[in-house]
Structure 1
Amino acid sequence: MSEFIDLGELGAEFRRNPHPVYARLRAKGPVHRVRPPAWESETWLVVGHEEARTALADPRLAKDGAKIGTPALDEELVGKTLLSTDPPQHTRLRGLLSRSFTMRRVEELLPRIQQITDDLLDTMLPLGRADLVESFALPLPLTVICELLGAPEMSRAEFRRMATESIAPSSPAAAHDAFAGLGAYFTELIADKRAAGPTDDLLSDLVHSSAEDGAPISPDELRGMAFILLIAGYESTVNLISSGVHALLTHPGQLAALRADMTLIDSAVEEMLRYEGPIENATFRYASEPVEIGGVRIAKHEPVMICLAAADRDADRYPDPERFDIRRDSRGHLAFGHGIHFCLGAPLARVEARTAIRALLERAHDLALDGPPGDWLPGTLIRGMRSLPVRW
């Protein structure tokens, strides 16, 4: 039986730890009517694992809100992205990105990722204590994605501010300004790439390529692709590293097991993704026709939010799901989504997380928390903390 709940009324405790609320909803059924924080309207929320997996791949749940008159803010100010398109447009855009953002390209980045990791630790470790987010988890993926895109060094501080406000805004006005700023930033960067001629960065590849049918990629599409690469290649990794380290430090037995056997690092990262993944809820979908999910009928044009955090703690899929266990078989988790919208940046996020966490544990032998983590990011899209004080 579905239940209505106003998530915005639950306050700071829900933001800090939403899992008990999701567990209570899941116990009553896989689909519920909710009002997200800072939203005036209601949406359907899918919290069961099997139902979420099915919904993520259901073509009747459209991503393009413009079809029902509700275009997303990013679409208006940045351009169409993979998160706001359906086939055939989505197929075309993803094909263009996949052609440049290959697994081979990610693997070629490994030495550079290791070098950036080592340089950050060289700077941080002599201090004896630090905010892990500010000093390590954030600058690593930010440097990697800026280099991958070919973004100038001097722009990175502003780049970071706009990126964070675009996915975890402090206010509607801040979100609008961030998207407008990113749109202008990428417009200028794309113009510079076009004028400079082909170089070896990913954005230059896209600027100087064309679709399989020979049609040029529009400026609107290029801005949208640059934006989605930023989000896919940066924000998820920041929170995967910081939340993953936090999980280890609050589960000393698991930390000791990983220190004793670093061959468990791949399994540990997958459990971090399942236990406290960087994406709490997938972006909105809209029923293009009446749809039934988990026995609940959803009318045409109604919005649907799929809760990845709730699905990955479903006891029907993972026994004792509240237990953090790096030896668990976490395969099948939905931290990066499922279906045609599976996160394009997942391979890069995994490589960076494995490299960063392994190097940190190998070099900071007495790593421990140095106080409580900072506030968790606002909203229900991104799951991550603003700061994580640590010492060693």
Structure 2
Amino acid sequence: MPDLPAVDLLALDPDFDADPYPAYAKLRAQGPVHHIRGGGGERFWLVVGHEACRAALTDPRLSRDWRRNGHLATGLAAPPATDGPGTAHMLLSDPPDHTRLRRLATREFTSRRVAALAPRIQEVTDGLLDVMLAAEDRRADLVDALAYPLRMTVICELLGIPDLDREAFRGWSDEIAAPASAAAARAAQAEAVPYLNALIAAKREAPGDDLLSALIHTVDEGGDRMSEDELLSMAFLLLLAGHESTVNFICKGIRALFAHPAQFALLRSDLDGLIDGAVEEMLRYDAPVETAPPRVATEPVEIGGSVVPVGGVVLIALADADRDPARFAWPTRFDIRRTEAGERGHIAFGHGVHFCLGAPLARMEGRIVFRTLLQRCPELALDGAQGERISGLLVRGERKIPVRW
């Protein structure tokens, strides 16, 4: 087929950075696959629509293994660097490597371990709110006061990061997950790698009750275990996959409630009965991760009548899939009772073999945070204009949410 001209998303909709959904809807009306141009001139193939996105997420010809297949990529200035330490994890692998790593991880990252975290997450949430609510002016930034420190604490406790090291770890985490520059990200990784290697060595000698200690010592029935680099990579995966996405989930969820006061009032009237449905609707309505991590086509892939060529870098728009009217009635309506009507099946956590391993933890964090916040702050309201935003095709969100109570 002839090469399709690349669409400039900002030219399609000048407000794309602030609200991408109208542009996605325009593209979806034309078909499920579009050749697009990024802000730096990169070329991608964007998949939209619920059915097409689900199919793309499970297509083995769309590879996440950039170590093996990144050389095929076209449209990028250079393939992502994947030959350094910390890149031998599930998110950068395909079956059978992915199958093996996920099997080892799920032996320890179990529903029982996640459930056991609930009292501690509740305790941390209460402690952060104690400090926030002590402000004499009854104002705070919800990101700095609650969303970010909660997630940072959970990650550090999962990995068994000592209290004294957490401030340094927070700085590395910020630069790796949301870098100010490529140089800053490399510098943070250069400091984080030896720290994590030393931590793994220490836990090998004296294991704790944290997830990282468990992964170091877990062995499957055949005697397989994670290598040193795979353990380091798992630590990075927990850091990267859970950092911005969970903070984004909390921020976008509270924004949706502020923007829909009738739904906000409904949730306040029955927190216990409606919190589960509210969490699922927050995830569907404004996905924490806008597009799934990029894939590269290892052979021509036909999707909805369009062909992604070998080397095409594919972005799967999870956010648009969950606003598709072919899958959800009135998809642009925020409705916390949607699941009661039988409308389920959002793909905010992905689909297929790369379905987010941390989804149960993220859901539990959401339930605890929103329930506790609304119980303790019944008059919570947005305080002033929208703060600084994070814009990008992978993660889009806000760095500040000013609130009053």
- TM band (smaller chain): over 0.9
Larger mean CA deviation between 345-354 and 365-374 belongs to 365-374
SS of the aligned residue for 1:45 comes to strand
Q: 1:3 to 1:316 in 2, by over 3 A?
A: farther
Counterpart in the other structure of 1:297 = 307
Distance in 2 (CA, whole Å) between partners of 1:355 and 1:190 is: 30
State the 1:192 CA deviation. Answer: 2.1
Query: How much does 1:185 deviate?
Result: 3.0
The CA deviation at 1:274 is: 0.7
The residue that corresponds to 2:239 in the other structure is: 230
SS across alignment from 2:219? coil
Q: C-alpha distance in 1, partners of 2:183/2:10?
A: 19
Alignment correspondent of 2:371:
358
Q: Deviations over 1:34-80 (max 9, x none)?
A: 12233x43110001110001110111211112223446335524221
User: Conserved in 1, the CA contact under 8 Å of 2:67 and 2:83?
Assistant: no
**Aligned Cα RMSD in Å?**
2.1
Q: CA deviation at 1:284?
A: 0.9
**What residue number does 1:172 align with?**
182
Q: 1:75 to 1:254 in 2, by over 3 A?
A: farther
Aligned counterpart, 2:384: 371
Residue 182 to residue 305, structure 1, CA distance change in 2 (3 Å): farther
Aligned-residue offset at 1:230: 2.0
Cα 1:284–1:14 change in 2 (3 A) is same
Shift of 1:9: 6.4
1:21 matched to 2:30: no
Name the % identity: 54
Distance in 2, matches of 1:317 and 1:268, equals 19
Secondary structure at 2:115 match in 1: helix
Q: Where in structure 1 are there 5+ consecutive unaligned residues?
A: none
CA distance in 2, matches of 1:170, 1:311: 30
Q: Between Structure 1 and Structure 2, how many residues are aligned?
A: 390
The change in CA–CA distance for 1:158 and 1:16 in structure 2 (over 3 A counts) is: farther
TM-score (norm 2): 0.91
Q: Is the 8 A contact 2:63 2:94 kept in 1?
A: yes
Which sits farther off after the overlay, 66-75 or 305-314? 66-75
Q: Where does structure 1 differ by over 6 angstroms across 4 or more consecutive aligned residues?
A: 8-12
What is the 5 A alignment of 1:34-53?
34-38=36-40, 40-53=41-54
Give 3-state SS (helix, strand or coil) of 1:305's partner.
strand
Q: Deviations over 1:89-133 (max 9, x none)?
A: 111111111111101111111111111111111111121110000
Q: Call closer, same or farther: CA 1:11–1:61 in 2, change over 3 Å.
A: same
Counterpart contact for 1:242–1:384, Cα < 8 Å: yes
Query: How high is the TM-score relative to the length of structure 1?
Result: 0.93
Query: Which secondary structure state, in structure 1, belongs to the residue aligned with residue 35 of structure 2?
Result: strand
Q: Is the 2:12–2:23 Cα contact (8 Å) retained in structure 1?
A: no
* Corresponding residue for residue 76 of structure 2: none
User: How do 1:304-343 and structure 2 match up within 5 A?
Assistant: 304-329=314-339, 330-343=343-356
The residue number in structure 2 matching 1:220 is 229
Question: Relative to structure 1, is the Cα distance of residues 160 and 10 closer, same or farther in structure 2, using a 3 angstrom cutoff?
Answer: farther
* DSSP-derived class of the 1:14 partner: coil
Paired residue for 1:124? Answer: 132
Equivalent position of 1:5 in the other structure = 7
Between the aligned partners of 1:9 and 1:184, the Cα distance in structure 2 is 44
Structure 1 counterpart of 2:152: 142
Summarize the alignment of residues 53-132 of structure 1 with structure 2, pairs less than 5 Å apart. 53-70=54-71, 72-73=80-81, 76-127=84-135, 128-132=138-142
- Counterpart residue number, 2:403: 390
Give the superposition deviation at 1:336. 0.4
Deviations 1:305-359 (A, max 9, x none): 1011111111111122221111113521111000000001110000011000010
Contact 2:295–2:314, Cα closer than 8 Å, also in 1: yes
Amino acid at match of 2:84: E
Mapped contact 1:32–1:46 kept (Cα < 8 A): yes
